[in-house]
């Protein structure tokens, strides 16, 4: 199907990288090749900086809050980080080739309208992790104030949330280069302050900590698997955002380096994970970790602990909010990147206040993190398989059809949706939910394996089988595969429309 080309958007001189203090002019339109000046190490730094935070520390405390002992919680953390990192790594390959974010890039496989699914998944992730970052940073301020004898109550907590949120908004408004600057500081400062925690808590930590034994799902193995899934949410959550930063890296960079950068960044997050894991064994109530940690901390470490929370909250908040604000503006043409960022941020801020003052914030986080894993992982699997089938070939202009209010192009498929990928994702997501067994979400098949949550393997296997079957039985048009043709799958002759 033919497509009418629109005039190229006017952007800043791509030959001169924008300064950190200049507001970024690039949206989801393809950035010029000459603007791809970043390196895989920058991707490592942004990914690690976005995860080397108090939000990750909080996730690290949850296995203990679930009732596990230190050894079991540590094993669940290690497995969750490595599995999540393996799923995440290939998501860095799209941005350098498409020169846009991963949600828009997914239009090559889900259709240029169907790529809205990726935008919605990114929105879910951004709201969750932005909420966590602002919540823990605000609570850290309250905890530090109480440690010095001042009890500000809910008023101080509410004001703290607002101040942190405004700071995150400001960084996101300036954009990529300012985020990169903040993360340069955050990685070094956050790491140093957490390592200082070894001195603060080393004398109190007991590696033989056996846990409460009051398992949140009633048994050890169901609870341990839940812990793995919870930890996996952290690396998986970056899947929708890697393209935000990887698009600034040239496609000529080594594929091995592009895969290694996010993987090693997630492995490095074992530092904040184990900071949360070890210190959670010291507080009286792991479910009220932030304020509990302030109580057990030495007075001299109260200020460094506050800095860990503030720096980390700013880093996580910006990496989560920036990408979704960028993408949300493409779904709502009346909003630019800055306006989209503010809208999404305000939605997240509402969740923070509702989750803190009306519900159990730990249960709220648990529910959202499990949904992120179950819904985003099969989406990522389909993109990875599509990348292999297409040999990494993408038509950059045709990905922008929906964003520019046009129709047609190689990725229009049927009404803008590739029903093969969409059906495979829907089957995988439903299958995962059927097998789910969490405190707030129990599927009809949740007790099939003695209460062990099989939702993630069920979702991944379903996606990995359903999508290849769909493209074998109903081959995709030849035009989407590029000059070398498809790999491992057949192709159908191009037609005026793709109707199954």
Q: What is the mean pLDDT of residues 100-121?
A: 92
**33 within 8 A of 99, measured Cβ to Cβ:** yes
User: Based on the number of CB atoms within 10 Å of its own CB, is 474 exposed (0-12), middle (13-18) or buried (19 or more)?
Assistant: middle
Q: What is the pLDDT of residue 173?
A: 65
**Residue range 345-373, pLDDT digits in tens:** 777 667 666 655 555 556 666 677 778 88
Q: Which residues pair with 442 in a beta bridge?
A: 437
**82 within 8 A of 301, measured Cβ to Cβ:** no
Q: What is the pLDDT of residue 18?
A: 53
Q: What is the mean pLDDT of residues 425-436?
A: 94
Q: What's the predicted TM-score (pTM) here?
A: 0.83
Integer Cα distance of 207 and 278 in angstroms:
8
Task: Kindly state the percentage of the chain with pLDDT values over 70.
Answer: 80
Quickly state the pLDDT bin for 475 (edges 50, 70, 90): very high
* Fold of domain 33-366: Hydantoin permease (1.10.4160)
pLDDT(107) > 80: yes
**Residue range 157-208, pLDDT digits in tens:** 778 777 777 777 777 666 656 666 766 777 787 788 889 988 999 889 999 9
Q: What is the mean pLDDT of residues 121-139?
A: 76
- Tokens 């603060």 correspond to 200
Top mean-pLDDT range of 47-61, 231-245, 411-425: 411-425
Helix (H) or strand (E) holding 492: strand 491-492
Q: Structural domain boundaries of the chain?
A: 33-366
Cα-based angle 91, 177, 328 (whole degrees, multiple of 5): 55
Q: What is the pLDDT of residue 9?
A: 35
Integer Cα distance of 370 and 428 in angstroms:
14
Quickly state the pLDDT bin for 494 (edges 50, 70, 90): confident
- Tokens 């043709």 correspond to 485
Task: Kindly state the percentage of the chain with pLDDT values over 90.
Answer: 41
Q: What is the mean pLDDT of residues 457-473?
A: 96
Q: What is the mean pLDDT of residues 35-45?
A: 91
Q: What is the mean pLDDT of residues 39-68?
A: 88
Average pLDDT, the chain: 82
Cα-based angle 402, 378, 235 (whole degrees, multiple of 5): 100
Residues 6+ apart with CB under 8 A from 324: 119, 122, 123, 125, 126, 127, 240, 340, 341, 344
Q: What distance, in Å, lies between the first and last C-alpha atoms of the chain?
A: 16
Provide φ and ψ at 302, rounded to 5°: -60, -45
Q: What is the pLDDT of residue 52?
A: 82
Give the CA radius of gyration of the chain: 22
Q: What is the pLDDT of residue 7?
A: 35
**Residue range 369-411, pLDDT digits in tens:** 778 888 999 999 999 999 999 999 999 999 998 878 788 899 9
- Choose the weakest-confidence range: 26-30, 182-186, 284-288: 182-186
Q: What is the mean pLDDT of residues 145-149?
A: 75
Q: Which of 375, 59, 444, 446 is nearest to 219 (CA)?
A: 446
Cα-based angle 489, 83, 198 (whole degrees, multiple of 5): 155
Q: What is the pLDDT of residue 469?
A: 97
The DSSP letter of residue 31 is P
- Tokens 């259709």 correspond to 111
pLDDT(468) > 90: yes
Quickly state the pLDDT bin for 12 (edges 50, 70, 90): very low
């Amino acid at each position: 199907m033919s497509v009418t080309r629109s005039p190229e958007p006017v952007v800043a001189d791509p030959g001169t990288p924008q300064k950190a203090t200049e507001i970024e002019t690039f949206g989801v339109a393809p950035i010029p090749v000459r603007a791809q000046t970043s390196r895989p190490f920058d991707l490592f730094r942004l990914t690690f900086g976005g995860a080397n935070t108090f939000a990750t520390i909080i996730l690290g405390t949850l296995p203990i809050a679930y009732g596990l002992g230190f050894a079991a919680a540590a094993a669940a953390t290690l497995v969750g980080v490595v599995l999540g990192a393996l799923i995440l790594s290939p998501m860095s390959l799209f941005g350098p080739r498409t020169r846009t974010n991963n949600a828009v890039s997914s239009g090559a496989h889900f259709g240029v309208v169907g790529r809205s699914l990726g935008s919605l998944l990114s929105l879910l992730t951004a709201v969750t992790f932005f909420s966590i970052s602002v919540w823990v940073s605000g609570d850290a301020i309250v905890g530090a104030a109480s440690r010095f004898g001042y009890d500000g109550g809910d008023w101080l907590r509410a004001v703290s949330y607002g101040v942190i949120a405004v700071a995150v908004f400001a960084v996101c408004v300036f954009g990529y280069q300012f985020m990169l600057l903040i993360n340069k500081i955050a990685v070094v400062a956050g790491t140093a302050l957490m390592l200082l925690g070894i001195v603060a808590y080393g004398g109190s930590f007991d590696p033989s900590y056996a846990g409460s034994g009051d398992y949140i799902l009633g048994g050890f193995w169901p609870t341990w698997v839940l812990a793995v899934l919870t930890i996996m949410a952290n690396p998986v959550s970056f899947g929708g955002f890697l393209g935000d930063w990887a698009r600034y890296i040239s496609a000529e960079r080594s594929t091995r380096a592009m895969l290694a950068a996010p993987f090693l960044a997630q492995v490095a997050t074992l530092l904040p994970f184990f900071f949360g894991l070890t210190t959670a064994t010291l507080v009286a109530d792991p479910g009220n970790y932030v304020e509990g940690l302030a109580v057990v901390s030495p007075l001299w470490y109260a200020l460094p602990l506050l800095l860990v929370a503030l720096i980390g909250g700013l880093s996580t908040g910006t990496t989560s909010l920036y990408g979704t604000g960028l993408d949300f503006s493409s779904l709502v043409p009346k909003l630019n990147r800055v306006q989209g960022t503010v809208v999404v941020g305000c939605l997240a801020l509402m969740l923070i206040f509702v989750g803190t003052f009306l519900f159990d914030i730990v249960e709220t986080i648990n529910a959202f993190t499990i949904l992120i894993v179950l819904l985003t992982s099969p989406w990522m699997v389909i993109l990875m398989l599509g990348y292999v089938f297409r040999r990494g070939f993408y038509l950059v202009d045709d990905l922008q059809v929906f964003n520019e209010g046009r129709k047609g192009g190689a990725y229009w498929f049927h009404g803008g949706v590739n029903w093969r990928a969409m059906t495979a994702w829907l089957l995988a997501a439903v299958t995962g939910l059927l097998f789910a067994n969490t405190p707030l979400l129990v599927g009809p098949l949740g007790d099939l394996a003695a209460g062990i949550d099989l939702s993630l393997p069920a979702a991944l296997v379903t996606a990995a089988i359903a999508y290849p079957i769909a493209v074998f039985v109903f081959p995709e048009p030849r035009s989407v595969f590029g000059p070398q043709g498809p790999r491992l799958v057949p192709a159908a002759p191009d037609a005026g429309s793709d109707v199954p």
